[in-house]
Structure 1
Amino acid sequence: MAKSKKTFSSKPSGGSLTPWLGIAAIILLVDQLTKITIEKLFAYGEDLYVTSFFNLTLAYNKGAAFSFLHDQGGWQRYFFTAIGIGAAVYIIYLLKKHAGQRLFCWALALILGGAIGNVIDRLVHGHVIDFLDFHWRGLGHFPAFNIADTAICIGAALFILDELRRVNR
């Protein structure tokens, strides 16, 4: 009689953590490469007209979204860095726990990559590097943002979509 061999799966909740961390790593890589490129090509505050509603620019944000708390004495750098690190740790926990839930994990992976990208900026530069500048016919400019911010916003939208789908089931 053959003995049955017991194995322990490393797959949490029906899926692997690897693809989600891979997505986050791609976001992080694209974010950091675009920021390095912009910093090499532009002087602070310099704009490059691209279309009637979009410029590339080099801007620094010492605060959070929409420059929230940017004019404080510097403590916000450490505060937002700690929030970003805490969020990243919690997101990795959620990814492990729910690795089989595709839309939910896509949302988390995008947010994770973006959060780490902005944390790296705060640690290395003391501010977040922004460069995407949208505006509309003299009505003003939307606050400049970057790839990390874009990934976080798309991730948040996917998270809301996932929640709406879950509620409607």
Structure 2
Amino acid sequence: MPDNKPQSTARTRKPGHFTYWLLGALAIVVADQLTKGYFDGSLKYGERWNILPFFDFTLLYNPGAAFSFLADGQGWQRWLFTIIALGAIGLILNLLYRHPRQLLFCTSLTAILGGAVGNLVDRMQHGHVIDFLLFYWDSWYFPAFNIADIGISVGAALLILDEIRRMRRERRKAARHA
């Protein structure tokens, strides 16, 4: 027999919004994995396709973290980064579920989640992350990266912006009540 107790509107709407955030993260994961698969299948390791005077598509493997941090490890870093990613994914899922109506906050978390899952898939499947976007100027090279890395970077920037906006709101509120 169904329970006829009224449920709070916030409680019943949360999963719907949570689902939208998950779908956004899934879109990033799909775009990331499709592009990585394309370049991994189309280029030889280290090969470059020149697109612009400052940009190439390339195929590189990164067993480390951002900017190849700890890439020289003996394989243990794969498991360290896997554990860190799983912890971050759990935390992000919890935050998305608890705060689904905070647009900028959840947008940032969704981008980070999509990127974290995209790179986690690579680590689990290949033991390294596939990178294919290479920006450079003259003899200066930015480390190669991928769609997941873009999601993480944009998400982090949006998270910082969200925190700055939150602090400003709190200052204005405190000033009004002072």
TM-score by length of 2: 0.88
CA distance in 1, matches of 2:36, 2:78: 18
1:119 corresponds in structure 2 to 120
- How far apart in 2 are the matches of 1:165 and 1:110? 19
2:157 is matched with which residue? 157
Q: Which residue of 1 aligns with 2:89?
A: 88
Please report how far the alpha carbon of residue 15 of structure 1 lies from its aligned counterpart in structure 2 after TM superposition.
6.9
Matched, 1:131 2:132: yes
- Is 1:11 the counterpart of 2:1? The answer is no
**Partner SS for 2:12:** coil
After TM superposition, give the deviation of residue 6 of structure 1 in Å.
1.6
CA contact (8 A) 1:15 1:100 kept: no
Q: Map 1:95-114; keep pairs closer than 5 Å.
A: 95-114=96-115
Q: Deviations over 1:58-82 (max 9, x none)?
A: 0000000000000110000010011
The residue matched to 2:100 in structure 1 has which SS?
coil
Distance 1:85 1:48 in 2: 34
Greater fraction helix: 2
Amino acid at match of 1:124: Q
Distance 1:58 1:105 in 2: 32
Task: Report deviation, 1:166.
Answer: 0.8
Specify the SS of the correspondent of 1:16.
helix
Distance 1:5 1:114 in 2: 40
Alignment pair present for 1:57 and 2:65: no
Q: State the distance in 2 between where 1:23 and 1:15 align.
A: 13
Query: How far does residue 11 in structure 1 lie from its aligned partner after superposition?
Result: 3.0
Q: Deviations over 1:84-126 (max 9, x none)?
A: 1110011000001111100000000000000000000000000
- Could you say what the CA RMSD is over the residues aligned between the two structures, in angstroms? 1.4
Find the counterpart in structure 2 of residue 44 from structure 1: 45
Displacement of 1:7 after TM fit? 2.9
Whether the 8 Å CA contact 1:63–1:70 is kept in 2: the answer is yes
- Runs (4 or more) in structure 1 with deviation over 6 Å come to none
Whichever residue aligns with residue 84 of structure 1, its letter is A
Which residue of the partner structure matches residue 75 of structure 2?
A: 74
Please give the alpha-carbon distance, in whole angstroms, between the structure 2 residues aligned to 1:10 and 1:16: 10
Distance in 1 of aligned mates of 2:99 and 2:63: 34
Aligned length: 164
Aligned partner of residue 11 in structure 1, secondary structure: helix
Please state whether the residue corresponding to 1:168 is helix, strand or coil.
Answer: helix
Flag structure 2 segments of 5+ consecutive residues without an equivalent: 170-178
